Structure 1
Amino acid sequence: MPRFSVIVPCYKVQGFLRECLDSVLDQSYRDIEVVAVDDCSPDDCGAILDEYAAADERVRVLHLEDNVGLGRARNAALPHATGDYLFFLDSDDTLTPGALRAVADRLAEADDPDVLVFDYARTYWWGGTRRNVLAHVLGETDETFTAAERPEILDLLMVVWNKAYRRDFVEREGFTFPPGYYEDTPWTFPVMFAAGRIATLDRVCLNYRQRRQGNILSTTSRKHFDVHAQYERVFAFLDDRPELARWRPFLHVKMGEHCLDVLSKPDRLPASDKAEFFRRTARMFREYRPEGAEIPAELRVLEHGYAAYRLRRESGRAGRELGRRARQARGAAAGRLGRVRTAVNTRRPLDADLVVYSAFSHRGVLGDPAAIHRKAREIAPHLRGVWVVRGEEEAAALPPDTEHVLLGSAGYHRAVERAAFLVNNVNWPWAVPKRPDS
């Protein structure tokens, strides 16, 4: 019995599939099986999967006779999975090097929880990378917990692929994927509500590919109406579990937010169907509203009709345009000043001993940069470490004697423009110049 069953459904991804499979099979951690599902793909996915299965006995391939969609393709793999833990990987995404070893070590440390939530980074077709902005939630405790004890865990992206699931927990609870779009919703919410022990891993284990085109959720169609049926399935799950009734107010708000988010996307729904989508969302919002539940201000538009929603959206766009023009004018003035300042600072020599650190969008001494800082102080004590923080609140929370600068201040610009080393686990804001030899 392997430790992990990695389930990979495949449909029209021949250009990404080899990179995906290599990222799994080349992991240093070898105690795995791959259950790959050819969802009747019209391209060469099936042949590529067979090639990998012939070369590596850890790969098993299922060829479906009909295209059944992502959720039911995953279901087809479940009876063939024999690992202790299930790991769902979309076939255009990749695991980071060392990810499975890190997951295995964390599972052992946490004494095999029902669910392990790990981090991911979005990778873009033009080469950019952006870590999950809520990554700090994963580093707040080493203990296991329930969702009720730490509900902020549900603020993370509710998808299937940023988690590992204990297989006997999944089988005992009977979790499966429904057909249709947004199939992760009726899996992830019930799993997280029902899990008795959840653990986290503050490490990027997966690269979530942001495709330039071909993302199914960016396809304009009425299939996006599926989101309503998916939330109905989650409410039905709560109806069957009276002990989980506390989650109804939370789910009611999440449903409203998610449906309005779908409606707001320009590439999801045909324009002629948007009013109908709004009305169906509003009807569900009324039907599933718990007695006495407080309605957040941003969701009250569901009580006022589609015309009010449209008016609010259009006025919001107008306000944002005015704000954009004002920021543009301020930015132009600041840019002129900044170019003068940068020209002065970059004429000065680099400070060979200066290291500028930042972590999680300037939240403090955290994550990998903090570990690098600690080690640098041990083995290269001549280096001067300066931390960038967002504001006075973050500065007040720094460890004693931590040298810091506030983001955007004159001290910040002097530091980043003269530092020999720049250390960050997310992107630097605006253009930080990388000088020769830095």
Structure 2
Amino acid sequence: MRIAVIGAGWAGLAAAVELARSGVEVVLFEAGRVAGGRARELAREGRILDNGLHVLAGAYTETLRMMRAVGIEPERALLRIPLAIVVPGRLRLKTWPLPAPFNLLAGLAFARGLSLASRIAAARFLPRLERSLTAGGERTVGEALAACGQDGEPARLIWEPLCRAALNTPVRLASARVFARVLRDTLGASRAASDLLLPRVSLGELFPAPALRFLGRHGGAFLASTPIRAVARAGCGLCLEGDPRAQVHDAVILATAPQAAARLLAGLSEAAPAIAIVDRFAYHPIATCYLQYPAGVELPAAMIGGGPEGADWYFDRGRLRGEPGLIATVVSADAERMKPAGAAAAARAHQGLARLLGPLPRPSWSFTVVEKRAGFSCTPHLDRPAQASGIPGLWLAGDYTDSPYPATIEAAVRSGVTAARAALGR
């Protein structure tokens, strides 16, 4: 049995690994030069950077399972820390090692920077969090929070940063139902589920490169810089326009970005419903700016928040990767704050960091990367395509496919594994 996987992002890699573990012949195609998709490493001026600062959660059970399957020990590759929102001089809220909801209730009781009224309101909200967010049918996070008395300070300092981080969608647009599911599976689950997992290695070494090595050891093939232009029927199988081997495949898993998937399926009439769904998607960007300071410059923690006026999050690569003085800033789902480009973006990031930490020397080097379509806009009533394409032997994989989760690494990995098992007839 020969199965093709198109797209070597985390969904495609997870599918390829799952297939290879089952002993089938796997061919993995990638239009770009490196694997990883929207969570990949970048080489710039002798440095290995990432195209974004991706934070995993303890609830990412399938991602952690797949990492172990290809030989990565999450305990070494990831720094596990309790969920915390720390904005120097403004806010310190940290979960405690207790069962839910007491983990966050204790954090609220001892939080600094929240008024007593806000802490009491949030504490009353927590035990009925999921029910409150999903009551009244589909609505936005902003509407749900206002109805529950969680607008104002709690929304600005707690729920808005968490919503942008989890859904990459502003609260005024984000689906309250999806946000509630994310909070249920993290803050509302086991103590470890809400922990943050920060990569200690490059995104490439976290999963893509080990996955490709695993694929090679199990007889699979990886064809980089090989764009596939279309999928077509070939007797009882499927062929790919752009496949240099011109092979017929028993099944195909299409694990590209949604807009690319729509182009590849354009010649297959059965795929018209999925294409129509994808064509209605809107997207939000994520901007990451790297700033190189002298070695003595460091953050008070590996990851801190920026507050409403700064970047969403700041990461200390010295603490995480042994790169002293290298700070990364992240802005999600806010095109207005991303308008400065190049040196202007770096200057703005530097100014925001200086407001938090006090006077800083000018960075000696900077680099900004913007993923313009980092994730789909996770809005109420959003229709997402099923993984079954309607075409025998052809499956879709990606964080955009139908699932209860937003555009995350875990959603991508789960979709890849599900597609692989479906292609195997399981």
Q: Give me the TM-score of the superposition, normalised by structure 2.
A: 0.25
Q: Give me the TM-score of the superposition, normalised by structure 1.
A: 0.25
Select the structure with the greater relative contact order (CA < 8 A; seq sep ≥ 6). Answer: 2
Structure having the larger proportion of residues in helix: 1
